[in-house]
Amino acid sequence: MARVLTTCPYCGVGCGFYLEVVDGRLVGVIPSRSNSVSKGRLCVKGWHAHEPIQHPDRLRAPLIKKNGKFEEVSWDEALEFVAGRLKEIKTKYGPEAFAVCTSARCTNEENYLMMKFARAVLGTKNVDHCARTCHAATVSGLNQSFGSGASTNSYDELPFMDCILIIGSNPTEAHPIVGWRVRSAIDNGAKIIVCDPRKILPAESADIYIQHYPGTDIALINAMINFIVTQNLHNKEFIEERTEGFEQLWQVVKDYTPESVEGITGIKSSQIKQAAKLYAASKRSCIMYSLGMTEHIVGTDNIISMANLAMVCGHVGKEFSGLYPMRGQNNVQGACDMGALPNVYSGYQSVADEEVRDKFEKLWKVDLPSGTGLTLTDMMFKAIEGALKCFYIIGEDQLRTDPDTHMIERALGSLDFLVVQEIFLSETAKKADVVLPGASFAEKDGTFTCAERRFQRVRKAIEPISGKTDGDIICEISKRLGYVMESDPKKVCDEMASVSPIFAGVSFERLEGNGLQWPVPSKDHPGTPVVHLGKFRRGAGKFIPVKNKPPAEVPDKEYPFVLSTGRLLFHYNTGTMTTRVANLIREYPRNFVQINTTDAERLDIKRRQKVKVKTRRGELEVLAEITDKIKMGVLWMPFHFSNEPTNVLTNSAFDPVCRTGEYKVCAARIEKVEG
Ligand code: SF4
């Protein structure tokens, strides 16, 4: 038996394990005790990570749709066909008719290649990926406040915090190994504040649990800042020496007294004061958040408000402090880092900077498009308008991940040509003209970057089931279009490092052991566990006043509930992989909706009864789960089940800055299904 050390393909925590291989087949997973992220632990998904890889449903050959039906074809036929159609579209409509969606499931090297393919080969500015639907608000918000849009500190500091404020994040279910670090902090005596409309597991052992209404985070945080300043608990020295704009912030937050936000948040002022005091007065305080903060029309402002809170108390820019944005997908951090975004090249180098463009043009020996491209959100609107003709998607299932499924259906249906590169025939792949079978994490070499900015190696354990990795496929199409790209992941990593100053010291050799946390600006730099030490990346930390704004939809007579969505421990995203694992599907075989006990009694809804959840966009029949752990007036659903897709209900209203949809709040109605 061979054991191949690699990195988990599920959430953004980045646990390390060995894949066990016998006769070219994966047979098991063993945790790596030396991995600095997971230290010998894995969650239930990680333990079963090998199982979906050899599932009979895996795509093994390319598919071309002929007369409305997929036919298996050879690689040569598929690649020739795709290259031919791409050429035709470019000639007929020009490069801006293309949009490319790269994948947070693929390696950094593949994201770099896809970003290069979009810009250098197709000539389009329109490149983005699923960070748009999760942490784009983190990138835009923290970038404005601190000058860098990623986690400020490391997992290893968590067990030694005095206070952890968890808001809009359920680490026990969504990021279990970080949840274990939080548990260690509790065992070491840390105080925990949990703010969440659902009484999630960490709330059970929290010192303060705030069950505020979804979409009222800014009111809550501004009120905490208000109390901290009026009680003289703010860090005047830090504010004076390291920040700018405090007076402008105060002019807004002075109106947000804890008493004044009681009606907005549904929380008593005394509880807000307790939480504010605990966070501010603790020596080692940090904030952990996730999609509960980012997936709102005010996602960017939510992130800025947390940055304001951290800076007011001086709880950032030093060890044992900071903000922990818990990234959803294994490599969503890396896909952002690699420039799979419409406004930056790799290493967050702006496309608007002519010197940067010049550098990439010289390296790639092509003229590059200037200006910012379309976000994933806008690609959908432009497709419906007819301005976008071709979409090339790798490893994403927009029809199940994006809000307002019916709108996405219209967008994909409006295209002239849709190419999807996938490992299973996803709902989005079913709509494609061509499906190219990609490779899983176990079938390729490369790197992933986890939520603590750590580059870690991904290693090939078995040969690609379809015969090609995603990087091979992109390079072969590129070659057919007349542009040769290096596909060897090690050499791609070297090229990326050579052109991206904050990753200049990254190489496969240096990632042996426990990887490296960026910035790594030179070959002898040891990596950076804590950023903004002594000085924020932008210079002074910027206080930006933000005001509370109601969600795009608020409950009314017709739709009297607030619907929110999230993840379960046993499943991952659209369930493409986890619903193909017997032990995981056994725990949660189908979708459901959580409703408060009192609400259920009032509507005469019984446990496990079939109910219909309706919103202005669609309706779905699921089973009811009755619980007193959810706030009255709030419904909650997971989104992992492809055949009962929650996103037919969610709202595509989006944040005007980062363009992320408002998955976390929409108005909904629930009624029992008779019989
Ligand atoms: Fe994988 Fe995340 Fe579980 Fe770790 S916590 S084993 S990275 S799914």
Domain segments of the chain as ranges: 2-54, 63-132+330-454+466-508, 136-326, 561-672
CA 569–ligand 1 middle distance (angstroms): 10
The atom of ligand 1 lying closest to the CA of 175 is: 5
The atom of ligand 1 lying closest to the CA of 49 is: 1
Q: What pLDDT, on a 0 to 100 scale, did the predictor assign at position 368? A: 97
Q: Flag whether pLDDT at 262 surpasses 80.
A: yes
Q: What pLDDT, on a 0 to 100 scale, did the predictor assign at position 616? A: 95
Placement of tokens 């936000």 in the chain: 261
Choosing among 2.60.120.10, 3.30.1280.10, 3.90.180.10, 3.40.228.10, the CATH entry for 136-326 is: 3.40.228.10
Q: How far is CA 241 from CA 68, 229, 307, 540, 611, in A?
A: 65, 17, 16, 8, 56
Angle, to 10 degrees, between the axis of helix 405-413 and the axis of helix 376-385?
Answer: 60
Q: Flag whether pLDDT at 425 surpasses 90.
A: yes
The atom of ligand 1 lying closest to the CA of 14 is: 7
**Burial of 602 (C-beta count, 10 Å sphere; 0-12/13-18/19+):** exposed
CA 210–ligand 1 middle distance (angstroms): 27
Q: 98 - beta bridge partners?
A: 390
Placement of tokens 């240096």 in the chain: 510
Q: What pLDDT, on a 0 to 100 scale, did the predictor assign at position 132? A: 83
CATH topology of domain 561-672: Barwin-like endoglucanases (2.40.40)
Q: What pLDDT, on a 0 to 100 scale, did the predictor assign at position 576? A: 86
The atom of ligand 1 lying closest to the CA of 42 is: 6
Q: Are 75 and 467 in contact (CB under 8 A)?
A: yes
Q: What pLDDT, on a 0 to 100 scale, did the predictor assign at position 620? A: 96
The rounded distance, in Å, linking the Cα atoms of 335 and 329 is: 10
Supply the residue whose CA is at minimum distance from atom 6 of ligand 1: 46
CATH topology of domain 2-54: N-terminal domain of TfIIb (2.20.25)
The rounded distance, in Å, linking the Cα atoms of 594 and 200 is: 12
Q: Which two tokens stand for residue 505?
A: 């010291």
Q: Flag whether pLDDT at 392 surpasses 80.
A: yes
Closest by Cα among 80, 76, 77 to 480: 80
Strands 191-195 vs 208-210: parallel, antiparallel or unpaired: parallel
Q: What's the N-to-C CA distance of the chain in angstroms?
A: 54
- 510: Cβ–Cβ under 8 A, 6 or more apart, which residues? 516, 520, 523
Residue of 6, 7, 10, 180 to test ligand 1 pocket, by largest number of atoms within 8 Å of CB: 10
Q: What pLDDT, on a 0 to 100 scale, did the predictor assign at position 486? A: 96
Q: Which two tokens stand for residue 622?
A: 């699921």
Work out the pLDDT band at 245, boundaries 50, 70, 90.
Answer: very high
Question: Taking the alpha carbons of 17, 20, 21, 25 in that order, is the dihedral positive or negative?
Answer: negative
**Count of Cβ atoms closer than 10 Å to residue 656 Cβ:** 10
CA 30–ligand 1 middle distance (angstroms): 13
**Strands (DSSP E) found in 163-304:** 163-167, 191-195, 208-210, 243-244, 285-289
Residue 601, CB-side half-sphere exposure with 13 Å CA sphere: 6
CA 49–ligand 1 middle distance (angstroms): 9
Q: Please say whether the structural domain 63-132+330-454+466-508 has been given the CATH code 3.40.50.1820.
A: no
> Residues 514-541: pLDDT tens digits?
999 999 999 999 999 999 999 999 999 9
Q: What pLDDT, on a 0 to 100 scale, did the predictor assign at position 546? A: 97
CA 518–ligand 1 middle distance (angstroms): 21
Q: Flag whether pLDDT at 212 surpasses 90.
A: yes
The rounded distance, in Å, linking the Cα atoms of 392 and 127 is: 10
Query: Mean of the per-residue pLDDT values for the chain?
Result: 95
The rounded distance, in Å, linking the Cα atoms of 48 and 27 is: 10
Q: What pLDDT, on a 0 to 100 scale, did the predictor assign at position 330? A: 92
Residue 308, CB-side half-sphere exposure with 13 Å CA sphere: 31
Q: What pLDDT, on a 0 to 100 scale, did the predictor assign at position 643? A: 87
Closest by Cα among 600, 591, 570, 572 to 582: 570
Supply the residue whose CA is at minimum distance from atom 3 of ligand 1: 43
Q: Flag whether pLDDT at 675 surpasses 80.
A: no
**Strands (DSSP E) found in 122-276:** 127-128, 163-167, 191-195, 208-210, 243-244
Q: Give SS3 for 83.
A: helix
Closest by Cα among 322, 309, 152 to 233: 309
Q: How far is CA 67 from CA 62, 70, 73, 80, 362, in A?
A: 16, 8, 14, 19, 44
| Average pLDDT rounded to a whole number, residues 653-658 | 88
Tell me which residues have their CB closer than 6 angstroms to ligand 1.
8, 10-11, 13-15, 38, 42-43, 45-46, 175-177
Q: Flag whether pLDDT at 60 surpasses 90.
A: yes
Q: What pLDDT, on a 0 to 100 scale, did the predictor assign at position 264? A: 95
> Residues 300-350: pLDDT tens digits?
999 999 999 999 999 999 999 999 999 888 999 999 999 999 999 999 999
Supply the residue whose CA is at minimum distance from atom 2 of ligand 1: 11
Work out the pLDDT band at 453, boundaries 50, 70, 90.
Answer: very high
| Average pLDDT rounded to a whole number, residues 188-217 | 94
